[in-house]
Chains A and B, each alone.
Chain A
Amino acid sequence: MTASYILEQIVNGIILGSMYALIAIGFSLIYGIVRLINFAHGDIVTIGSFAMLASAVALKIPFPLAILVVLVTGAATGMMIERIAFRPMRGAPQVTGFIASLAVAIVMENIGIMTLTAQPRSFIVPAYLSKFIAIGPLSVRAIDLAIVVLAVLLMAALALFVRFTRTGMAMRATAENYNVARLMGINIDRMILLAFAIGSALAAAAGLMWGSKYSQISPLMGLIPGLKAFVAAVIGGVGSISGAMLGGYVLGLAEVLLVGLLPPEYSGYRNVFVFAVLIIILLVMPNGLLGHSTEERA
């Protein structure tokens, strides 16, 4: 086990973490405002990857432009889901929303299987993105570099938006206190829609990254990344955007390093490990690394 091997694993962890972070942000944004754990979020990842396949491969739109198509498709899907499935049951107990989101996830996955079949499709990135680039002792694929850069750019844009714009401030206010924000004249429906749009666009971006990195996509691919990103959001503290970013990287690094550094016979325990971490975190630090404590009131 050489130093460059460990370095390589760390780089892999950062790449995986970037994708987890992007998906986890959506979980946190939506939870922060509507207190809904949206299990259909993982399927937006799938939508993103197929939107990329359709636009870049089938319609031959140039790669960078196709990213825009993916973001828009993701945002539109997210808003549609909110409008159709979640708005009618707003104000219902939290568990109701949770069940509804599972139902939405199943509808999306099965429609995907019905229209696209469950067969994985190959997803090929342009040649200039699969070249290897040497950085110091490491050589990484250009696409991996692009993933990390794009993820960081998107996250920075989100952070600036939430911090410095009027709408961003309104969003924070809504997350802080839904009812008071409404009294202050903030249009709650628009804020919720916006949270779904932003979160889903980021998840769709993660989908295109997932497809480019593993060169294979299928209608069910979003399930496991979605669940793991949720774990990441919990690690960071559900409801906190910076927590989701941090949690994504922590989980990505931990998962890759565990598989890379432990003896190979333990690598099958990857998912066991991730979900065991989830349960432990929920028990030891129910509010996550950066979350605020929310008192349970009777």
Chain B
Amino acid sequence: MARRPNLLAFLAAASLGAVLVFGATATLDDYVLSIIQFVGINVILAVSLNITNGFTGLFSLGHPAFMTIGGYVTAIMSLDPKRKPFLLPDLPEWLAASHLSFLPALVTGGMVATLVAVVVGFPVLRLRGHYLAVATLGLIFIVQGLAINLDGYTRGALGLNGLPELTSLWWVYGWMLLTLYVCWKLKHSSLGRTMLAIRENELAAACLGVRITRTRILSFALGAFFAGVAGGLWAHLVTLITPSSFSFLFAFQLVVMVVLGGTGSITGAALAGALLTIATEALHPVEEAMGLFGASQVLLAVAVLLVLVFRPKGLFGMAEPDLLAWVGKSPGREPTPAGSKRQREV
């Protein structure tokens, strides 16, 4: 298969995006920039949840739990060592003295989230369908409860505020590219095929020699890694993380993005993530003007119900529409590394 043109196309789209990012940071004001960053973070989250929920068909609601873990770990690692003993008296000596720059801190956050996912995954991933959903939902409440009660490590319900403002559009863009690239590679690799096989028919996949447990845990852990990183990015964008930053409602919004985009479609998840975030942000002023707080949530939820009834496969189903070819005709559209491997779709 034509591997090289694909990579070239991806690089072309990525550099076009980089030009746009450069233009945006130079011209736009902070408010708009922060919204663009939220869009990027939500794209990371939707696309990474798609690995777990879309490819492998594990219905996980655990993303907010991993975001909380990643956010706290990143924050603790990147916090000024002078402030740490004062804010977090229970931290062990070596943690209180350590200070990492942003990239290693984010990676550490992601790794810790991955570790938790693996440990939790071994027992929990034996469950199926909505039982798994409920167990991961429980995970959100457990992580939240621990974050509130272990106040020597997390400062309890107050959360950690005044974090350094490290996240910039470049960071978000870079991680978004990495997430998209990894997912893209994954979907078209034998591991990705294995995941899809599990989703379609677990018994048949097992009969063909797919190692079910290992693959399930891998997909759960990979999703958790990006969720942890996204949590770190989020925390250093709003310079605050609290136990209730990422709630169960947020899990629902992420699931909505995956379902609307089409479970299994990277392009779909990314587009739905971006569109929903923009829609929510655009509706905020309207809500405030009319005094109808919650109206946007209602609209979103009704949209989901309509999609479930009338287009259960979501926008794209499993497919990756050939956006690059389309973008090639009219340059300047959203750079998505959705490539031209359509012939390999089954």
Q: Which residues of A contact B (CB under 8 A)?
A: 37, 85, 88-89, 92, 94-96, 98-100, 102-104, 106-107, 109-111, 113-114, 118, 227, 230-231, 234, 268-272, 274-276, 278-279, 282-283, 286, 296, 298
Q: Which residues of B contact A (CB under 8 A)?
A: 59, 123-124, 126-131, 133-135, 137-139, 141-142, 144-146, 148-149, 201-204, 249, 252, 255-256, 259, 292-295, 297-298, 300-302, 304-305, 308-309, 312
CB-CB under 8 A from B144, the residues of chain A are 271
Report whether A96 and B308 are in contact in the complex, using a CB–CB cutoff of 8 Å. yes
Q: Which residue of B lies closest to A100 (CB)?
A: B308
A270 to B144, CA, bound (A): 12
Chief secondary structure at chain B's binding surface = helix
Report whether A268 and B149 are in contact in the complex, using a CB–CB cutoff of 8 Å. yes
Report whether B146 and A272 are in contact in the complex, using a CB–CB cutoff of 8 Å. yes
CB-CB under 8 A from A113, the residues of chain B are 293-294
Report whether A37 and B134 are in contact in the complex, using a CB–CB cutoff of 8 Å. yes
A118 to B203, CA, bound (A): 47
CB-CB under 8 A from B142, the residues of chain A are 271-272, 275-276
Report whether B59 and A95 are in contact in the complex, using a CB–CB cutoff of 8 Å. yes
Report whether A110 and B297 are in contact in the complex, using a CB–CB cutoff of 8 Å. yes
> A110-B295, A278-B138 are known contacts. Are A269 and B149 too (CB-CB below 8 A)?
yes
CB-CB under 8 A from A110, the residues of chain B are 294-295, 297-298, 301
CB distance from A180 to the nearest CB of B (A): 23
Most chain A CB within a 10 A radius of its CB, from B249, B259, B305:
B305
CB-CB under 8 A from B59, the residues of chain A are 95, 98
Report whether B204 and A234 are in contact in the complex, using a CB–CB cutoff of 8 Å. no
CB distance from A186 to the nearest CB of B (A): 26
Report whether A103 and B304 are in contact in the complex, using a CB–CB cutoff of 8 Å. yes
CB-CB under 8 A from B295, the residues of chain A are 110, 114
A225 to B89, CA, bound (A): 35
A104 to B131, CA, bound (A): 19
Report whether B129 and A94 are in contact in the complex, using a CB–CB cutoff of 8 Å. yes
Q: What would 27 A/B residue contacts be, using CB atoms closer than 8 Å? A: A37-B133, A88-B309, A89-B308, A89-B312, A103-B252, A103-B304, A103-B305, A106-B301, A107-B302, A107-B305, A110-B298, A114-B293, A227-B137, A231-B138, A269-B145, A271-B142, A271-B145, A272-B141, A274-B141, A275-B138, A275-B142, A278-B134, A279-B135, A282-B131, A282-B135, A286-B127, A286-B131
